[in-house]
Amino acid sequence: MEFDEYAAARWPVLYRTALLLTGNGAEAEDLAQATLVKAFAGWARVRRADSPDAYVRRILVNELTSDRRRGARRAAMLGPVALPDPGVIPDDPGQRLDLWRAVLSLPPRQRAVLVLRFYEDLTEVETAHVLGVSLGTVKSQAHDALRTLRTRLGQQEVPS
């Protein structure tokens, strides 16, 4: 597959995943675009990978991490303190809005775990591979994230 075909096919997916990871349309577009730029530059390596989608997904998540790191420094200079931007979803007075706000308040890696697990429907092993972390880390990140969400939503924790 040539890169242009791949990019055209994957762009909507990348953008939507980026939107869930960033919570902001403009940042999502930047993130998805930066991901494709790096995939273009390394296309020979990407296309040879066992799963080009997984490779590109990993670029996306790493771009997010490094961009958040930069963003943290920007915040200290003058910027938002990672306050959630609920403007990307329709005005929903119910649980959905509360849950989305709570998701956006999670640390980026915890949010990434949830998005990969419950939007991309990756297994824990696949999620660990994308994030470049151990399986145990994915489990603990997911556990911490869900616990935080339950606390913020006032839900009872369900024994596993």
Partner 1 sequence: MTDQLPDQLRGVFTATATEADVPPLPWAAVETAGRRLQAVRRRRAALWTAAAAAVAVVAVALPLAAAEHADHHAPAPAHRTMKPAPSASGDLVAALPLGMSANVAMVRDGRLTMGRVIAVGVKRVAQAGATLLVSHLDPKTGLTVDAVVATGPGGRVAALGDPGGDGLGGPVLSPNGTTAVGARHDGSGVTLTEWSLSAGAVVGTVHVPGADDKTLRLDAVDDHGLAYVTTFAPRAGFTWQPGGSPQLMTGVTADLWSAGFTVVGPDGVVDPPGCDDQPLAVAPDGSTVLCHGPAHSGLVFAPAGGTERVPVRLPVKPLDVVGFDSDGSALLTARDGESVWLVRCTAADGACERVSPVPTGATFPEPLTGAAMAPGTPPAVPTTAPSIPYARDGVLHVGRTALGSGITGAVTSGGTVLAMQEGAPNAAGGSTIHVSLVDGDRLLPVPALTSVGLDNHSDAYAPHLSTDGRVAVAMSWRDGTTLRMTAWSVAQRRVLGTVDLPDQMIAAEHIVGVQADGSIVYGDSTARAGFTWRPGSKPVRLPKQLSDEVLKGEVMVTPAGIEPLPHGFLLPSPDGSRFLGTNYHGTAYIASVETGYRVVLDLPDSLYGVVGFESADDVLLTAGDAQGGPLVRCDTTTGACTQVWASTAGVTFAVTGDW
Distance, C-alpha 89 to centroid of its chain: 16
Q: Which of residues 33-72 bind partner 1 (CB under 8 A)?
A: 33-34, 36-42, 45, 58-59, 62-63, 65-70, 72
- Verify binding: residue 91, partner 1, rule CB under 8 A: no
Cα separation, 141 vs 139, whole angstroms: 6
First to last CA, the chain: 43
Residue with token string 């490094």: 66
Looking at residue 106, what DSSP letter applies? Answer: S
Contact call for residue 135 and partner 1 (CB under 8 A): no
**Can you read off the two tokens belonging to residue 85?**
């931007």
124 binds partner 1, rule: CB under 8 A: no
Site for partner 1 in 103-122 (CB under 8 A): 103, 105, 107-109, 114-115, 117-119
In the bound complex, what is the minimum distance in angstroms from residue 40's beta carbon to partner 1? Answer: 3
- Looking up tokens 């990993």 gives 58
Q: Which of 47, 53, 100, 139 binds partner 1 (CB under 8 A)?
A: 100
Pick 51 or 95: Cβ nearer partner 1: 95
